[in-house]
Amino acid sequence: MSWLSSPLEACTRPAVMSTSQLLAYVYALAIGLLLGGERERSHRSQQESAYGVRTFALLALMGTLSRELGGWVVLGVLFFLSLLLVASYRRTNREDPGTTTETSALATFLLGVLCYHDAALAAALGIVIAAVLISKERLHSFVRDVVSDVELVDVVKFLVVAFVVLPLLPDRGLGPYGVLNPERIWFIVVVLTGISWVGYIAVRLLGPRRGLFATGLASGFVSATAASATLGRISKNPSRFDAAVAGAQMASVATYLQLGFVLFVVSPKVASHLVPAIVAGSLSLLGATWLVFRSRASGAGANDLEAPPRVEHPFALLPALTLSGVLTAALLAARWGMAHLGTRGAVLVAGAAGLADAHGGSLSAATLFNQGQLNLPSTLAAVGAAVGANTLVKCVIAFVAGGRRFGWRFAIGVVPSIAAFLVTLTFTN
């Protein structure tokens, strides 16, 4: 029987109500009471409201009943309800210009219809709608007072990148050696920009009291190398030296975390073999950062965390595109190196790519592994070469940007960390 069945067909069914049919009505009643109760409480300042708990309960039950009678009945009731809602809004729009109650009433009816097919899904959606309605003040305050114009624009940019551009790209190998897959390369861009959003939100949640520490962690998800250079320059202010060192080290912690997450997206098998090494490197670096904070706490450093540099744009497309370009170049170079130098060529190319970014060489090796062109030991060696080369570059930049003192303090943390990473990678695989 089709969805748009007639009421006559519905009347010819057996009169005995099944358990699933009974539950549909029970769920519909519960949804109507929940949403109606919320609407009635939100209008408790008004002496009388056209839509209260009883009306919403009846609307939900009407939805289930009309669906059982047939699809045409649903359409008819929906049309009548729409006219009723329009008339009601015209009567009350001067006192309450909003349409939340009318929209909620329509949603309640449709949820009642859905209860006939999937009562659990309808209940879940009803709870979500109730949560949105209850959060009115918080949502309005968040949108009006917390979210800036830049953040709102960046949300739209991210949605375009993730849900407009990505579906349009072909999912097949192109270019020399057929190693370039536009969809997968752009998916890395989506993942990286999403991670930069997570880092930005972390800064907003932690607030200025965590200052350079939070900024270093967030910036590290975009570019730990650039974060090390920026924090090195900030360290020239004596009152912020220790906080800048800790922030730069946290940027390198972000490198480990981002490496593990992105590799898990590209190749879960490679990522699973890297987990012990990533944990060892991260814990070593976190220990060094804790020592920096402990030494700062024993000193005067109360101002170390004040007035941190703010991450201006949560949506960092340019660094993601840059890494995508590095990944593309590394893929081509690694494939060329394999063709002429064997697996050692791929490891050397990954190390060379790591001079620019740790993830480019690692991702190219993981991609070649997925394509069956590189074995697991060589892939892990390539990842180690990329991360090691990138750590060397960050140390050099720390010395150049922050001077000898900052460079040594930074290196004391990251060198044991990369040693722990490489040693664990060697002995666990």
Question: What average pLDDT does the segment 206-213 reach?
Answer: 56
Please give the span between the terminal C-alpha atoms of the chain, in angstroms, as a whole number: 59
DSSP symbol at 176: G
**Cα gap 235→127, rounded to integer Å:** 50
Q: What is the pLDDT of residues 136-146, one digit of tens each?
A: 777 777 667 66
Average pLDDT, the chain: 75
pLDDT band of residue 399 (cuts 50, 70, 90) is: confident
The mean per-residue pLDDT over the stretch 282-302 comes to 69
Above 80 in pLDDT, residue 108? yes
Q: What share of the chain is helix, strand, coil (3-state, %, to 5)?
A: 85, 0, 15
Lowest mean pLDDT, pick from 12-26, 129-143, 330-344, 390-404: 330-344
pLDDT score of 175 more than 70: no
Highest mean pLDDT: which of 27-31, 186-190, 235-239?
Answer: 27-31
Max mean pLDDT range (147-161, 225-239, 406-420): 406-420
Q: What is the pLDDT of residues 241-272, one digit of tens each?
A: 877 788 888 888 888 888 888 888 888 888 88
Rounded-to-integer distance, Cα 159 and Cα 33, Å? 35
Cα–Cα distance list, 240 to 218, 231, 275, 278, 296 (Å): 18, 9, 33, 29, 10
Answer for the pair 88, 102: CB distance below 8 angstroms, yes or no.
yes
Residue 46 pLDDT more than 60? no
d(C-alpha 110, C-alpha 61), whole Å: 10
User: How many Å apart are CA 185 and CA 398, to the nearest integer?
Assistant: 30
Residues β-bridged to residue 174: 180
Q: Tell me the whole-structure pTM to 2 decimals.
A: 0.53
Rounded Cα distance, 258 and 188, in Å:
11
Higher pLDDT, 379 or 240: 379
Tokens coding 190? 């989506």
Nearest to 21 by CA among 120, 122, 124, 119: 119
Among 170-184, 246-260, 300-314, 388-402, the least confident range? 300-314
pLDDT at 111: 92
Mean pLDDT of 76-96: 76
Give residue for tokens 């060529």: 345
- Find the mean pLDDT for residues 159-182: 77
Nearest to 83 by CA among 61, 106, 51: 106
Phi, psi of 51 (to 5 degrees): -125, 110
The CA–CA distances, whole Å, from 143 to 28, 136, 147, 148, 353 equal 32, 11, 5, 8, 41
Specify the DSSP class assigned to residue 309: P
Q: At residue 180, what are phi and psi to the nearest 5 degrees?
A: -95, 115
Instruction: Fill in the DSSP letter of residue 239.
Output: G
Position 307 pLDDT exceeds 50: no
| DSSP state letters, 360-387 | HHHHHHHHHHHTTSS-HHHHHHHHHHHH
Q: For 415, phi and psi rounded to 5 degrees?
A: -65, -50
Q: Which parts of 51-181 fold into alpha helices (H)?
A: 53-69, 71-92, 100-117, 119-134, 136-141, 149-160, 166-168
Domain range list for the chain: 7-142, 148-427
Nearest to 189 by CA among 365, 328, 311: 328
Instruction: Tell which residue, 386, 18, 185, has the closest CA to residue 378.
Output: 386
